[in-house]
Amino acid sequence: MAKNGYFQLVEKDEKVWLQVYSPEPGGEEVASSEVIDYLELISFPDIDIVSLDNYIKAGEFESPFLLREEPIIPENERCVVTIPEKAERALARFYPPSTNGALLTEDEIVSDLKLAGIRHGIKRKAIEHFLAHHEYCKDYIIAEATLPVEGHSASIEYFFDVNVTAKPKLNEDGSVDFHQLGNIKLVESGDKLATLTPADRGKQGISVTGNPLLPKKVKNRRLRFGRNIRISKDKCNIYSKVSGHVSLVDDMVMVSDVYQVPANVDSSTGDIDFNGTVQVMGNVNTGYTIKAEGDIIVNGVVEGAVLISGGNIVLKRGMQGMDRGELRAAGNITAKFLENCKVKCGGSLKADAVLHSDVECGEKIEVLGKKGLINGGSIMTYADIHATSFGSTMGSATRVEIISDKELLKHANTLAEKIEEIEESLKKMEKAAEEMKKQVQSGQGILPEQLQYIKKAGASKPVLIKEWQEMKYERESILSQVERNKYACIRVEDTLYSGVKLIIKDVMKIQHEKLSHCRIVRDGADLRVRGL
């Protein structure tokens, strides 16, 4: 690096002169302000500032500039220290001695630095460089602070969509689809919901003056969550304890196994597909679908919509299906009324009225209450059908059927055969394993094909056991249902109108007269009327 220009006080002929040395190419010129500052620093008397400034600006340094007509006490080599405001470093600027002045030693430089307030980070190599080269009017980084290690604020990464803005899908034809809005953020039990990266406060540094240098302030955060969520031991991860709907409200993660719609199911919600229970506080509008692995509960009216439940369906008011509505439940269905809709459930049905609907159930159907009316459509089940009234004076086509258990028994027999096959396969595996065990104990080797068979059997055995258990449970449930419904009947609390078609286990009868307070039962190949 090119040397800067510098200046020196020279004593000659009992006078004091200022000798200015030009810089090397690329170095800095001597500034009059620096010369004046130096002279004031050493308390040089009677400075002609204007003449001195003109001399330096002229840049003609062949002849020195006369400062004083009489000699002065010699000035030693001097070190001037500057400490910027943040004290992250210190700068030293050296000036040459005057004639007969002494050079600085390393100890003297260190002493000057300490007098200037430097307590930390003195750079010995910078001092050594100066003592070797004596470059003047140049800033040496003479001390450096130990800078703080900056930390970072705490951050949380969420593993679900935190966007609550529902945007309808734009179809290719330009129309807008309000059905798939993605309002429900589904999670499974055990899913990770969020990870906290804790705040790092960083590490404190030390300024050249020995004072602490603090890292920037960071923000701390913690995982906030509601019920159905567990947190890891290190408090940095949260997991869902249930399958359900996850949401973020005011930085709080919440998982609910009940998804609640505060108003209607319509274009503001789209279709709903949820792996828990769905509760609708308002109505379900025509054209929309609700699917739930749990129950579906609707406080208002269901129009021409489709409700599919892995549990029960409860309609606190009812369904006006408009010949488009459909209810499907693995469990029971309870409704105020059902009109112009299709209904299928694995359990029982309870309603105040069923009008012009096609209903198929696995268990008992009860249409009682103030109206208790079954009129129009088709009603089918394996169990009792119990209603206040069947049909009407208008003669609407009404079909009431207790389904034959022949198909159920046939299916139960098929299951029995499959169960037996699986049991034989398991016995064969056990026998093969036992034989190979005896071979090993007797010192005989195992053939590669035998080893391959054992590996394959080991992988398939758990699957077969699971199938066996499921089939046994299904068969036992069917047989229990058949036994329970052996004497199923149609029970009339008030009136059975003429024109109603009655079927009990493949025996059919069209009612030609009005009856009251009776039971219709199967007696051999006929249907008989019995009293309540």
Q: Give Cα 101 distance to the centre of its chain.
A: 75
Whole-number percent of the chain with pLDDT over 90: 61
Please report the pLDDT score of residue 166 as a whole number: 47
Measured CA to CA, the distance from residue 299 to residue 335 in angstroms comes to 10
Residue 178's pLDDT is 45
Answer whether residue 177 shows pLDDT above 60: no
Supply the pLDDT for residue 186: 76
Could you write out the DSSP letters of every residue in 366-378? Answer: EE-TTT-EEEEEE
CA distance 471 to 403: 23
The pTM assigned to this predicted structure is 0.57
492 pLDDT tier (thresholds 50, 70, 90): very high
- Three-state secondary-structure class, residue 108: helix
What angle (nearest 5°) sits at the alpha carbon of residue 301, between those of residues 298 and 304? Answer: 105
Q: From the centroid of its chain, how far is CA 103?
A: 70
| 423 membership: H or E segment, kind and range | helix 406-441
pLDDT tens digits for 299-314?
A: 999 999 999 998 889 9
Mean pLDDT of the chain: 89
pLDDT-wise least confident of 40-54, 148-162, 163-177, 359-373:
163-177
- The token duo for 465 is 């056991």
- Structure confidence at residue 244 (pLDDT): 78
pLDDT band at 78 (very low <50, low <70, confident <90, very high): very high
pLDDT at residue 172, as a whole number: 59
| 363 and 382 Cβ atoms separated by less than 8 Å | yes
Query: What confidence score (pLDDT) does residue 45 get?
Result: 87
Count Cα neighbours of 466 within 13 Å in the Cβ-side half-sphere.
5
Please list the alpha-helical segments (H only) found in 161-319. none
For the cut 80, the answer to whether the pLDDT of residue 182 exceeds it is: no
Chain centroid to Cα 299, Å, comes to 31
pLDDT at 164: 55
Q: Residue 496 pairs with which residues in a beta bridge? A: 390, 515
Q: What is the pLDDT of residue 181?
A: 47
pLDDT for the residue 184: 60
Whether residue 343 is predicted with pLDDT greater than 70 in this model: the reply is: yes
pLDDT of the residue at 429: 81
Separation CA 158–CA 196 (nearest Å):
9
Query: 437 pLDDT band (50/70/90 cuts)?
Result: confident
**Residue given tokens 């069209």 in the structure block:** 510
* Closest residue by Cα to residue 240 from 188, 292, 197: 188
Question: What is the C-alpha separation between 180 and 168, in angstroms, rounded?
Answer: 7
Residue with tokens 């309609």: 315
List the one residue out of 336, 342, 372, 335 whose CA is nearest residue 356.
342
Instruction: Please compute the mean of the pLDDT values over residues 246-261 and round it to a whole number.
Output: 82
Q: Is the pLDDT of residue 243 over 60?
A: yes
Report the DSSP pairing between strands 501-504 and 507-510. Answer: antiparallel
Greater confidence, 161 or 16? 16
DSSP string, 70-90: S--PPPPPEEEEE--TT-SEE
180: pLDDT confidence band, cut at 50, 70 and 90? Answer: low
Give the pLDDT confidence score for residue 30 in this predicted structure: 94
Burial class from Cβ neighbours inside 10 Å (0-12, 13-18, 19+) for residue 143 reads: buried
**Is the pLDDT score of 505 beyond 50?**
yes
**pLDDT value for 168:** 47
- Residue 58 vs residues 10, 37, 54, 62: alpha-carbon distances, Å: 20, 19, 6, 11
Asked if residue 421 has pLDDT above 60, the reply is: yes
Q: Is the dihedral of CA 465, 471, 477, 480 positive or negative?
A: negative
* Per-residue pLDDT, 394: 83
CB 385 within 8 A of CB 354: no
Coil vs helix vs strand at 322: strand
What integer pLDDT is reported at residue 169 of this predicted model?
54
Indicate the DSSP class of residue 426: H
Burial-class residue 186 by CB neighbours within 10 Å (0-12, 13-18, 19+): middle
